[in-house]
Amino acid sequence: AGARLGARMLCHGEPGYPAWLTGLPDAPPLLWALGDPAALERPLIAIVGARNASSLGTRMTRALARDLAAEGFTIVSGLARGIDTAAHLASCDSGTIAVMAGGLDVIYPAENTELGRKITGKGLRISEQPFGMEPRARHFPARNRIISGMAQALIVVEAAVKSGSLITARAALDQGREVMAVPGHPLEPRASGCNQLL
């Protein structure tokens, strides 16, 4: 199924496998990749945050992703709605990487189908799951460790105290990555996780 879609298999320890992932104890033995492998050759920075992002959070994400892409970084995120979507959209033209929770042929959420297709023009969609796999709850924390593990640093834009974004931040800290957070208003629940990180 992978070859039919034009996807490549990236095997641990072989050329083309994301360099920053190789040293992790729980690195995926193989990844499926669809798109332009050149996106992996630039320094990688991950941006994650709330699905129900505020307009200010979305604007901040777009500015960060656009400026970092202009400086030669590839933006890595998870193709979720909200902050992830803003990060991918702002860096799509220079090449962004979407790490998916399900199979490469199952774009979730469905509203990001067109974005998913656009990403493979100059960037990559990556997954450790087999083709046809619908994303389940347990797949998201597993995906998050790849998002943080691939990148040299992680930026959290908006996140509640109990959120997938903070799970990603904890994974990044465990992996020895630099974690940065955008501060928010003390009374804004979507900023509470970022404020706690700071």
Q: Residue 70 CB: number of other CB atoms within 10 A?
A: 10
Q: What is the pLDDT of residue 52?
A: 95
Residue 55: helix, strand or coil by DSSP? helix
- Can you give the pTM of this predicted structure? 0.95
Please say whether the beta carbons of 151 and 188 come within 8 A: no
pLDDT tens for the 198 residues of the chain, in order: 676 778 999 999 999 999 999 999 999 999 999 999 999 999 999 999 999 999 999 999 999 999 999 999 999 999 999 999 999 999 999 999 999 999 999 999 999 999 999 999 999 999 999 999 999 999 999 999 999 999 999 999 999 999 999 999 999 999 999 999 999 999 999 999 999 999
Please say whether the beta carbons of 159 and 190 come within 8 A: yes
Distance CA 144, CA 99 (A): 8
